[in-house]
Homo-oligomer: A and B are copies of this chain.
Amino acid sequence: MERDEARRRFAAARVARLGTVTPQGRPHLVPVTFAVLDIPEPDGSIAFAVDAKPKTSRSLQRLRNLAEHPAATLLADVYDDDWSRLWWVRADGTARIVDHGPDFDRALDELSAKYPQYQAQRPAGPAVLVAVDRWRGWAAEEG
């Protein structure tokens, strides 16, 4: 799948799964709402936020992981029992945690533009910006 098509499908998805590595070197996965920021870097950035839910140890694990190992991967996929409709897109990059400033404000603006829930209650943050260095995509229809 071409990079632009991969990025387009990913940006339109409503949920992605964030993969990180724990300080102990284990894989960790959690679903995230996200927005793709259309910034002038070649591959752009993906933003997600820690929302207003109670910050249990579980919800902060992703931040502890990224503080130690900033490599992040995000996957959007569609499953259908008709396997000719399957596709997925993966974005690999490097994460940066931000809790104030223009990048933080921009991330929250884009998230609020995508999800009405965030308009009603703006995430407290912090936010994470993943600078993407590779988009990979696969679609069954492409063979």
Contact present for A83 and B117 (CB under 8 Å) = yes
Q: What's the number of copies of this chain in the assembled complex?
A: 2
Q: Is the interface of A mostly helix, strand, loop or mixed?
A: strand
Q: Which of A17, A28, A29, A74 has the most CB of B within 10 A?
A: A29
Smallest CB gap from A90: residue in B: B29
Number of chain A residues whose Cβ lies closer than 8 Å to a Cβ of chain B: 31
Are the CB atoms of B17 and A58 closer together than 8 Å? Answer: no
One of A19-27, A40-48, A96-104, A105-113 contacting the partner: A19-27
Interfacial residues, chain A to chain B (CB-CB below 8 A)? 14-15, 17, 19-21, 25-31, 58, 69, 71-75, 77, 79, 81, 83, 86, 88, 90, 92, 117, 136, 138
